[in-house]
Every structure is written in structure tokens, then in C-alpha cells.
Amino acid sequence: MKIIDITQELFSCRVYPGDMSPRYEQAKTIQHDNYNLTNISMSVHSGTHIDAPNHFIANGKAVHELDLSVFYGVCTVVELYGIIGDNEIMEILANCHERLLFKGQNELSDNAATLIAKSHVKLIGVESQSVGNMSHPLNVHVALLEKGIIPLEGLILSNVNPGEYILSAFPLHMRGSDGSPVRAVLIDGTNQ
């Protein structure tokens, strides 16, 4: 079994334009206080993270209300570049698992998001900080989140081959939050 870390390092991670970059402060040190203690401040959408429906949907579910089974299980990794349109997504949906990760510089078109929203998929993962177009992400997010499909954004898939894996990407337990950082890993059972 091989475990592949697909998570950005938090304090050097990418953030959505305009969002706060994660920062930390060493509040206590062993030298002065006999122990280390670090405080952090950040957006919940920093680095590798999930979006909860209440990020874009009024009265949508918050992180603490999400079904945790969505964040663990068999996933399909596909590699695509550019805008993902109807033809590409229909072919992928015919052969993918409930968790679908897109490797490469790509973005879902509005139509592709609508087709995914009508499918069996429960989670969509991308390397970008947004599952939709960075300059106008609303339509793609709303199409997915209205159907309870969770975006997993900010992945690092450069060292991952397309194929099937076990995904583990649990959010933190944060009551009312519209997103959460995750530690995302792929488990490859083929390399015993």
C-alpha cells in the first residue's frame, strides 16, 4: 500500500485572490515558557480545502452537517486540460466513481457542472483554488452545492497517475463553517 499526500503545505499554500493567507504566531516557546504554543489565523478556504453548501447556498449545510462518508472511499483520477465541456464530462461520468478528481490545469464549464449535478458523483476535486472559473466561480459552485456535491479544491496531483485510488480528505469539525482545510491523501493498494 502506498499513501500519496495530495495536500498543500498550509503556511506556503495558494489562496483564492483576495483571501487571507494563513499566518502563524509562536505564542509560547520552550526557551521562555517551557512549552511551544502556536496560534494561527487563516481563511477556511486556504490551500487544500472543501466547500460546504452554505458557502454559496442560503440555508445550505455547514461543514459540521456534512455526511463524512463523502470524504472517504474509492475515487477516480482523470487528467484534463482547459475547459471541461459536455463531451468530456459525459465520457468521464460513464466510467467514474462517486469521488472524481481532475488532474491538470482545468475548469468545469457551467454545462459540465450541471451534468455532474445530475449524476452519481458526490465529490469533485481540482488542483485549482476554485472548481469553477477563477473570475466567475458562482454558477459552477451553485450547480454542484445545490445538489450536495462537495468541491475539494487546491489539490496537488502532479505526482499522481490517472486511475483508481482510495481518497481520504476529512474536514475539521467546525460548527457553522462554510469550508474547511483538509489533509487529503490517496491510498494506492496496487503497490503492495
Task: List active site positions.
Answer: 55
CA separation, residue 129 to residues 46, 118, 124 (Å):
8, 23, 12
